[in-house]
Amino acid sequence: MTYGRLLYFVLFVFSFLNLQAQNAEENKAQVEEIKQQLIDENLKFTSSQELNSTQNEIYKKKHKQKIDAELKILSSDAIIASGELYLKINSIFDKIVKANPEIPQNTRLVLYRSNDFNAFTMGDNVVFIHIGLLQDLKNEAQIALVISHEIAHNTLRHVEESLIESVKRETDKELEKEISGILRTEYGKVSSLNALLLPRILESREKSRSHEFEADSLGLLYIKNAQFNLSDALSMFHVMERKSKNASDSLNYSSFFHFETIPTIQSLDSEYERESSLGTFTKDDSKLPYLATHPYERDRFYRLATILKVDTTFKTYEPKQDSFHQLLKQQVGMEMIQNSWRNKNISEVIYYAINFLEKNPENEEAKQYLALAFKTLSYFKRKRVAGKFLQLQNPKFPEDFDRVCALTYAISPSDCNALFDIYKKQISQFHSPQSEVVEIIQHIESESYDLLEITYRDNKEVIYNSKLSFILEEIEIQLNNSNMKLNFIVPKSKSKQK
Amino acid sequence: MKNAKLILIALLLSVFSVSAQEASVSNVLNLRTAKHSGQIVEQNKLVGYFIFYTKEKVDRNNTAYEIQMYDDNYNPSSNFEIVRPKNSILLEMVYNGSVFMLHFYDSKTGYEFVTFDKSGEMKGSKKISKDEISKWDLNKVSMNLQSETENISIYPNGDKGFIRSTFTKYKKIGYEIVAYDNEANEVWSYKSSETSDMIEIVEINDVSANYLTATVTKKKNITTREMSNFMLLINLNDGSKITEISMGDDVSGLRSLLKSFLNESKKNITIVGEYYKPNDDIVKDKSQGLYMQEISLTGEDLGITNYAWKGDIDQFASVTDSDGKKERPFYAFFHDVVISKNGHVFLIGEQFLKQISAGGIAMQVAAGALGGQSNASAFEMLLGDMIVIEFDAKKNLVDFKKVEKKRTNIILPAGMGIYGSTTLGYYIKSMGAFDYSFTSKNKEKDVYDVIYIDANRKEDDKSSKSDLMVGVISIKAGKVTQNRIPINCESKTWWIQPGKPGFISVSEYFRKEKKIDMRLEKLSY
């Protein structure tokens, strides 16, 4: 590397790290602002006229618990409230809020670091959008419909309504009397409780479904006012239906597992069995619609299409990707990988890294994560602790994901090392803390304990503060068990106690 | 099985979740070992697990139970509710690919066999009142419950029903083999002769599409050591006996029956066991070697080959142990037989030897000095290495492998020292005291993993002791490899149990968090 290039690289790394730090600070500031707004808006508690004074006391307590829970979520490192990805989604959010004056203009959006396909609100003018949702939605209008739907829950005060209902149930003297009576009996307690409570549960689920329809309708109005494409928005129900049926994305994982170069992996893949070991169980699904908290996707679609007086043929609304989605893909894809590390789920890391690399084949960061995943697995598999960090197969998973889970379980430590070597060659340099974790494992493998001590001591705090902490913690447990008198290895749990 | 006990998940409050990598059971208030959780086995292969727990008391005499099933990846599969007399115990749950058969026992009312289909719908039930059940069967069940041993008496009969072995109520102990359809209706029954002047006990060896082979042991009475073995072949379509072949006599020399295998495509049965000198006692005397016999499906003898310990097998076996000293005259106890798709037969055994116990004598002396008695014998059993003896498809002896493991000692209870090594081998087998744990089988994929516990818990000289060292002898497509895998756990309470083929299930109980985490680890790569 020439001197000029070296200088450029150092400056790049420095600016990158500086930018990371700045982003973190900005995120923290934004989150604090949202939290403060939440606290300020809830300084004064408003009693419900539907409840008596005793019930209002309970309502007040539940309300406080809800606020505390929301503040706790906002205080976690799962919240994104700044940065490029956030700004893109927030631009949709802003458009909706500004086009609909009835929406409190201080309503805020945050992104939530979870790979689940979900979004939620807790009734306090804060809307949480899961990263996993952004992974699967295909266009701007679909995202807009989800955001509007959650805002509509707040406008319609559904959360408050549910809270009030729960207070009424808890203070229902008749119900309490009946429950006490049942609990005093010796026989048939569970059946009697079920018989007593099931109608109430079904009623509450019915209410929940009607809330969803209401939020859909009002949400539709919001995005109409904000001039989003309504056909594109309706196509969201296709995506939801695909998710609920666990449809596979047909990931081309075989090339990323290098079947041609490592034929042992290919032969393991040929042993994959889709069906559960107990076969397919047909369950009585007739009660499921009544127990669902959300209506089925097609019902929701049909209602909205009817309101709009447009074509109600579901298949007409196949989702189309737009340029907005193209802009998001990279950032969302990388977040999914990061979330998987946080979840300590190496199967997911590999799956989402492959998913990402399919569309961005030259991306070094994803390759680093993939390499690190395989190197970590090679060590964990030799120690027979890989099962703690791998996903077991499930016939309910989409097939491509299930196949990746099966394969990551089956491949040998040496296959993992072979894959690590392949990906390492494609990377110019590992970033921190990936590089330190790889080094530590390599020092253990080569029994270079002097070097291990240096790397471990110099970098353990950095690794502890990252999403890769669990890898180091497991390595510490394993090394602690050894008789090599590695006194410098102090497990994180023990050093905390000190 | 040593160190491989099945664990009860307590009470109604247990919640089993599989949200991520490990399966986790929360709200576990306490652990009990009992017959309330177990494996679902299909054609000798583990296909899942069940948990059987109390839902509620229905009335004074009856309790509603839930049976929750999980597939071999811990995914919740299906659940049934079943109302049983209170104090019902689930002894066995077997799957035949179509329905499940559950065998319940109630100390007051007797047995009930219930079948459920995949949707959880009950297909049928068969009750056997307590007075219809042989006391020997009840004794066996009671012993199994006390020693927490799996009760194995039911075998799938293809996907059309089940076969069960039991005892008769004759004056002398006899056996019965019963076939049930998927609605738990009895289809046929085959019994030993009521007028037989011998005690007759059966052990089912192999069940194929149309035939069943079993070992029948006949003795004059319970205490006598002399016995004769027979290979019984039954037509599964109607329960008729095709043949019952004697495994030798005092004149020609007895033969033990370790295992029999049906090969319907070749239209024959292969029998494997040990052979003895004329007038030798199977339980008391050491065998002369191994034999393999082929019999046609109509009962004709197609030939027998003997393999003597001295002269045939010893040319493969080492005469010295790992320290270079002359190998001790170990006996071999055969735990299992594997027959791979290429026709090779593998006998899985473990070395053992009766010897004087310094520890046992010390305990006796110490107890005597205190004016009491010790329960320890002056003798102990020394367990040696695992052994694998291989025969090719033409019945040639081709290999004898010794898989080294740390020798362990089992001090025998007082009075047992008078028995010979062979008898004591059966005794310690019945106590589950061998290091051999189980064989994980996948006939379809021709993969078998023999699991044993190695008392040497060090991975190598430099390592410290792991919590458990599991030895694995893998037979894949007829090739034998061996491996030792250290298992280390975070929690102080942990256990292993069979997992799906090729895997071992490791469970850890965290008392403070009141949860059990279970995970699968691959046995060999």
What ipTM does the predicted assembly reach?
0.83
Cα of first residue to Cα of last residue in chain A, in angstroms, is 46
Residues 6+ apart with CB under 8 A from B444: B45
Which of A188, A387, A410 shows the shortest C-beta gap to B521?
A: A387
Q: Which residues pair with B339 in a beta bridge?
A: B345
At A50, list the tokens: 């539907």
Predicted pLDDT of residue B461: 65
* Position A249 confidence tier, pLDDT thresholds 50, 70, 90: confident
pLDDT at A283 over 60: no
**A185 in B contact zone (CB under 8 Å):** no
pLDDT at B325 over 70: no
* Position B5 confidence tier, pLDDT thresholds 50, 70, 90: very low
To the nearest whole angstrom, how far is the Cα of B169 from the nearest Cα of chain A? 37
Percentage of residues of chain B with pLDDT beyond 90 = 18
Cα of first residue to Cα of last residue in chain B, in angstroms, is 24
pLDDT at B506 over 60: yes
What is the number of other CB atoms lying within 10 angstroms of the CB of residue B319?
8
To the nearest whole angstrom, how far is the Cα of A327 from the nearest Cα of chain B? 30
Predicted pLDDT of residue A24: 86
Percentage of residues of chain A with pLDDT beyond 90 = 71
Q: Which residues of A242-279 are buried (b: 16+ CB within 10 A; e: fewer)?
A: bbeeeeeeebebeebbbbeebeebeebbeeeeeebbbb
Query: Mean pLDDT score of chain B, rounded to an integer?
Result: 80
> A388–B21: do the CB atoms touch at under 8 Å?
yes
**A413 in B contact zone (CB under 8 Å):** yes
To the nearest whole angstrom, how far is the Cα of A410 from the nearest Cα of chain B? 8
Asked if residue B56 lies in contact with residue A191, where contact means CB atoms within 8 angstroms, the answer is: yes
* CA separation for the pair B320, B324 (Å, rounded): 5
Residue type (1 letter), B419: Y
* CA separation for the pair A161, B255 (Å, rounded): 80
* Position A401 confidence tier, pLDDT thresholds 50, 70, 90: very high
Predicted pLDDT of residue B3: 29
> B464–A395: do the CB atoms touch at under 8 Å?
no
DSSP B508: E
Tell which wins on pLDDT, A289 or B447: B447
Residues 6+ apart with CB under 8 A from B501: B45, B46, B440, B441, B442, B445, B447, B449
B508: nearest CA partner in chain A = A388
* B221-228 mean pLDDT: 74
pLDDT in tens, A343-391: 999 999 999 999 999 999 999 999 999 999 999 999 999 988 999 999 9
Domain that holds residue B345: 320-431
To the nearest whole angstrom, how far is the Cα of B328 from the nearest Cα of chain A? 33
In a domain, B44, yes or no: no
pLDDT at B25 over 80: no
* Position B69 confidence tier, pLDDT thresholds 50, 70, 90: confident
Sign of the alpha-carbon torsion through B37, B42, B46, B47: negative
Q: Judging by beta carbons within 10 Å of its beta carbon (0-12, 13-18, 19+), is residue A450 exposed, middle or buried?
A: exposed
Element (H, E) at B110: strand B110-117
> B463–A482: do the CB atoms touch at under 8 Å?
yes
In a domain, B234, yes or no: no
Count CA within 13 A, CB hemisphere, residue B377.
Answer: 18
Predicted pLDDT of residue B89: 82
Which chain A residues are within 8 Å of B73, Cβ to Cβ?
A: 276-277, 392-394
In a domain, B96, yes or no: no
To the nearest whole angstrom, how far is the Cα of B507 from the nearest Cα of chain A? 11
Helices (H), B343-480: 358-369, 421-430
Domain count, chain B: 1
Tell which wins on pLDDT, B228 or B485: B485
Helices (H), A226-322: 230-234, 236-244, 253-256, 263-269, 288-291, 297-308
Question: Torsion angle of alpha carbons A246, A247, A249, A251, nearest 10°?
Answer: 70
* CA separation for the pair A114, A78 (Å, rounded): 8
Which chain A residues are within 8 Å of B48, Cβ to Cβ?
A: 277-278
B506: nearest CA partner in chain A = A387
At A195, list the tokens: 């018989």
Asked if residue B480 lies in contact with residue B412, where contact means CB atoms within 8 angstroms, the answer is: no
Predicted pLDDT of residue B1: 32
At B236, list the tokens: 């599964």
Q: Which residues pair with A425 in a beta bridge?
A: none
Which of B47, B95, B488 shows the shortest C-beta gap to A478?
A: B488
* B356-365 mean pLDDT: 68
Q: Which residues pair with B131 in a beta bridge?
A: none
Element (H, E) at B384: strand B376-391
The residues spanned by each domain of chain A are 22-244, 323-497
pLDDT at A287 over 60: no
A483: nearest CA partner in chain B = B464
Among A438-447, B116-125, B252-261, B419-428, which stretch is predicted with the lowest mean pLDDT?
B419-428
> A277–B57: do the CB atoms touch at under 8 Å?
no
What is the number of other CB atoms lying within 10 angstroms of the CB of residue B53?
17
Asked if residue A146 lies in contact with residue A133, where contact means CB atoms within 8 angstroms, the answer is: yes
Residues 6+ apart with CB under 8 A from B480: B346, B388, B390, B399, B401, B473, B474
Q: Which residues pair with B124 in a beta bridge?
A: B115
Element (H, E) at B493: strand B493-498
Residues 6+ apart with CB under 8 A from B111: B103, B104, B105, B127, B128, B133
Which of A186, A383, A391 shows the shortest C-beta gap to B57?
A: A186
Of chain A residues 278-317, which have a CB less than 8 A from chain B?
278-284
Tell which wins on pLDDT, B470 or A416: A416
Q: Judging by beta carbons within 10 Å of its beta carbon (0-12, 13-18, 19+), is residue B139 exposed, middle or buried?
A: exposed
> B118–A280: do the CB atoms touch at under 8 Å?
yes
* B286-296 mean pLDDT: 88
* CA separation for the pair B446, A323 (Å, rounded): 52
Count CA within 13 A, CB hemisphere, residue B507.
Answer: 22
Percentage of residues of chain B with pLDDT beyond 70 = 81
- Omega cis (within 30) before A433: yes
Residues 6+ apart with CB under 8 A from A391: A345, A347, A348, A405, A408, B20, B21
**A409 in B contact zone (CB under 8 Å):** yes
Asked if residue B484 lies in contact with residue B490, where contact means CB atoms within 8 angstroms, the answer is: no
Predicted pLDDT of residue B438: 85
DSSP states along A143-189: HHHHHHHHHHHHHTTHHHHHHHHHHHHHT-HHHHHHHHHHHHSSS-H
Residues 6+ apart with CB under 8 A from B19: none
* B318-339 mean pLDDT: 69
Tell which wins on pLDDT, A145 or B269: A145
* CA separation for the pair A128, A110 (Å, rounded): 5
pLDDT at B463 over 70: no
Query: Mean pLDDT score of chain A, rounded to an integer?
Result: 90
* CA separation for the pair B84, B65 (Å, rounded): 7
Element (H, E) at A132: helix A131-136
> A345–B20: do the CB atoms touch at under 8 Å?
yes
Which chain A residues are within 8 Å of B53, Cβ to Cβ?
A: none
Asked if residue B4 lies in contact with residue B498, where contact means CB atoms within 8 angstroms, the answer is: yes
Among A214-228, B3-17, B278-292, B302-316, which stretch is predicted with the lowest mean pLDDT?
B3-17
To the nearest whole angstrom, how far is the Cα of B163 from the nearest Cα of chain A? 20
In a domain, B381, yes or no: yes
From the CA atom positions of chain B, what is the Rg in Å? Answer: 24
Tell which wins on pLDDT, B269 or B371: B269
Task: Say which residue the tokens 């007038």 belong to.
Answer: B279
> A187–B57: do the CB atoms touch at under 8 Å?
yes
At A382, list the tokens: 């030799």
Query: What's the 3-state SS for B345-361?
Result: EEEEEEEEEEEECHHHH
* CA separation for the pair B120, B68 (Å, rounded): 10
Asked if residue B438 lies in contact with residue B4, where contact means CB atoms within 8 angstroms, the answer is: yes
At A333, list the tokens: 């894809």
At A309, list the tokens: 């007086």
Comparing CA positions, the residue from A94, A79, A119, A133 lying closest to residue A332 is A133
> B57–A189: do the CB atoms touch at under 8 Å?
yes
pLDDT in tens, B407-446: 888 877 776 666 666 667 777 876 778 899 888 888 888 9
* CA separation for the pair A97, A104 (Å, rounded): 8
pLDDT in tens, A106-123: 999 999 999 999 999 998
In a domain, B354, yes or no: yes
A285: nearest CA partner in chain B = B119
Candidates A189, A193, A264, A281: best to mutate against B (most CBs of B within 10 A) is A281
* CA separation for the pair A136, A131 (Å, rounded): 9
Pick the most confident of A470-474, B66-70, B171-175.
A470-474
Among A360-369, A443-452, B143-152, B228-237, which stretch is predicted with the lowest mean pLDDT?
B143-152
Predicted pLDDT of residue A11: 62
Predicted pLDDT of residue B516: 79
In a domain, B408, yes or no: yes
The phi and psi torsions of B287 (rounded to 5 degrees) equal -75, 165
> B47–A345: do the CB atoms touch at under 8 Å?
no
* Position B11 confidence tier, pLDDT thresholds 50, 70, 90: very low
To the nearest whole angstrom, how far is the Cα of B78 from the nearest Cα of chain A? 7
At A166, list the tokens: 């729960």
Predicted pLDDT of residue B29: 46
